Amino acid sequence: MPELMYREALNQALAEEMERDANVYLIGEEVGRYNGAFKVSQGLLDKFGSARIIDAPIAELGFTGLSVGAAMVGLRPVVEMMTWNFAILAMDQIVNNAAKLRHMSGGQLRCPIVFRGPGGAGGRLSSQHSQALEANYAHFPGLKVIAPATPADAKGMLKAAIRDENPVIMFEGERLYAIKGEVPEGEHVVPLGKADVKREGSDVTIITWSRMYYFCMQAAEELAKEGISAEVLDLRTLRPLDEEAILASVRKTNRAVIVEEGWALAGVGASVVDIIQSKAFDDLDAPVERVTGLDVNMSYAANLENATQPDAPKIIAAVKKVLYREGA
């Protein structure tokens, strides 16, 4: 299986889907002649032309709404957000239009559209450019929210998102784009709404998504050296949550740690805890622990930035807490 970078996997998915379906177009800032701010759309303008790879003005609300309108009448737009921080300007169109069209029209309209771009901390960019905003979108009925961690999932889930009949919000990551992994060629479609056990274990379940996955895997390896067997469950989709997979894993290990890059209050992890406590309370041997970004704005200074985010040592400490092996 060929090894690709995350950005190349996305590029492959886009090219394949655009080849398959002429209704698919890509719009965003710098996606065309610049080949993408993060090079996800490298080479696509030459391949598909300027009506399908569209350099938009810096007007997030405008080009997002324009694409929602195009989706209402049969096109299948992919809207690239240079980062999700900028998409806050477009939130009205995503939340008040895309997510509600089917409902407001009583089932007459559908809005097959993908909004995608990097979320989370990029690295030394301070507070306006370093936010993990997936919980915001996971809140809204009418949307699907995905956050794949690996290149293979990035490709397979983008393909599934483009084929989906609903608005799909896709969180990638500036620090994920250069990560390499094996990616199946051709028709590789990963269904939305399905979590994936990325590492099997028996003592504790570490539940995560997106870039935090790599810290969790690192922590699991460290823990293995101490004889602790951690299962890593990659949620991949945040709306709808894969309750079945969450409960199956927790019922097996009886302990859970949830790791998310974003803030704790009203985070996605809080909803995962709710699922566990309401449906698997009797299976738990310890209260569920959460490792999240600190409840502060992100700083520029390297030491402050690092301290704000979850990392492997914080995850290891949380695992030991649920195993009552603190200080061990």
Partner 1 sequence: MASPYSKELLLDMYRKMYLIRRFEERAGQQYTLGKIAGFCHLYIGQEAVAVGPVEALRPDDYMLSAYRDHGQPLARGSDAGMVMAELMGRDTGYSKGKGGSMHIFDIEHHFYGGYGIVGGQIPLAAGMAFASRYRNEDRVTVCYFGDAAASQGALHETFNMASKWKLPVIYICENNRYGMGTAISRVAAVPEIYKRASAYDMRGEPVDGMDVLAMYEAVKDAAEYCRAGKGPVLLEANTYRFRGHSMADPATYRTKQEVEDERKGDPIPKLRAYIQKQGLAQDDVFETIEEEVNAQVDQAVKFADESPEPSLDELWRDTIVEEGEEDVRPRERVLGQKVNWPTYPSGKELKVTWDLEPREQAEAADKKAGLVR
Residue ranges in contact with partner 1 by CB under 8 A = 20-25, 32-33, 49-52, 54-57, 59, 61-76, 92-93, 96-97, 101-110, 141-142, 144, 165-166
How far apart CA 284 and CA 136 sit, in angstroms, is 28
Task: Report whether the peptide linkage leading into residue 240 is cis, meaning its omega lies within 30 degrees of zero.
Answer: yes
How far apart CA 315 and CA 292 sit, in angstroms, is 10
How far apart CA 279 and CA 308 sit, in angstroms, is 32
Least distance (Å) between residue 244 CB and partner 1: 18
How far apart CA 109 and CA 100 sit, in angstroms, is 10
Least distance (Å) between residue 107 CB and partner 1: 3
3 or 92: CB nearest partner 1: 92
Active-site residue, selected from the candidate residues 17, 29, 60, 289: 60
Active site residue 185: no
Active-site residue, selected from the candidate residues 30, 129, 222, 243: 129
What the block records as the tokens of 321 is: 């807490």
Adjacency order of strands within the sheet including 76-80:
53-55, 24-28, 76-80, 113-119, 167-173, 144-146, 237-239
Least distance (Å) between residue 143 CB and partner 1: 9
In three-state secondary structure terms, 279 is: helix
How far apart CA 231 and CA 229 sit, in angstroms, is 7
Least distance (Å) between residue 164 CB and partner 1: 8
Residue type, 296: V
Residues 6 or more apart from 10 whose CB is under 8 A from it? 40, 116, 154, 155, 158, 172
60 or 231: CB nearest partner 1: 60
- Chain centroid to CA 295: 20
76 or 155: CB nearest partner 1: 76
How far apart CA 146 and CA 319 sit, in angstroms, is 25
79 or 319: CB nearest partner 1: 79
Q: What is the DSSP letter of 282?
A: G
Least distance (Å) between residue 100 CB and partner 1: 9
Active site residue 129: yes
94 or 223: CB nearest partner 1: 94
Catalytic residues: 60, 129
